Amino acid sequence: MKDWYLLYCKRSEQERAVLNLDRQGVECYYPQVTVQKMVRGKRVEAPEPLFPSYIFVFFDPETLSFTTVRSTRGVADFIRQGAKPQRVQQEIVYGLMMNEDSDAHQKQLSSFPKPGETLKLEQGQFKGIEAIYQEADGEKRSFMLINLLGKPVKVSVENKDIVKK
């Protein structure tokens, strides 16, 4: 019986793993999100992995062994619970698939502050301070430029602490 599992891939080799798993008949899901980044001085939109180094795979372990999948080029190992590879609930995977291209997801990404935008920090150690948004710092934090003792200082703050002016 087919189930979803989560694979951990070698660094920056998710695409290689997907290609090789596909050749073996394993269905793969590699969620990506489109982000804006600077490339050679120009702002471009490019896909990036939603979960770097992770791939969801759908296969029947009675037809294709865990060892065969784990030994595929680009794959490091399964995410495990004890000695057994951990099954992933299909509702989670299908939910990710539905949200990946949804308008609400795109709207959420576009509501993020733009670099250079002036914001006010609402919570945390810098509460009440005006800051200039610089860039995202991972999933839940952002780099902000604040004026501290007359000097601009780059700090990392929780996204939930930011309020648009």
Report the alpha-carbon distance of residue 99 to residue 120 in Å, rounded.
Answer: 30
Q: How many Å separate Cα 2 from the centre of its chain?
A: 26
* pLDDT tens per residue, range 93-134: 888 887 776 555 555 555 566 677 777 777 777 777 777 776
Q: What is the pLDDT of residues 42-82, one digit of tens each?
A: 778 888 888 889 999 999 999 999 999 999 999 999 999 88
Q: Is 162 helix (H, G, I), strand (E, B) or coil?
A: strand
- What single letter denotes the amino acid at residue 112? F
Reply yes or no on domain 118-164 having CATH 3.40.720.10.
Answer: no
Any idea where the domains of the chain sit in the sequence?
3-110, 118-164
Specify the CATH architecture of the domain 3-110: 2-Layer Sandwich (3.30)
Answer whether 109's CB lies under 8 Å from 33's CB. yes
Q: Which residue has the higher pLDDT, 10 or 143?
A: 10
Query: What are the phi and psi torsion angles at 101 (to 5°)?
Result: -110, 10
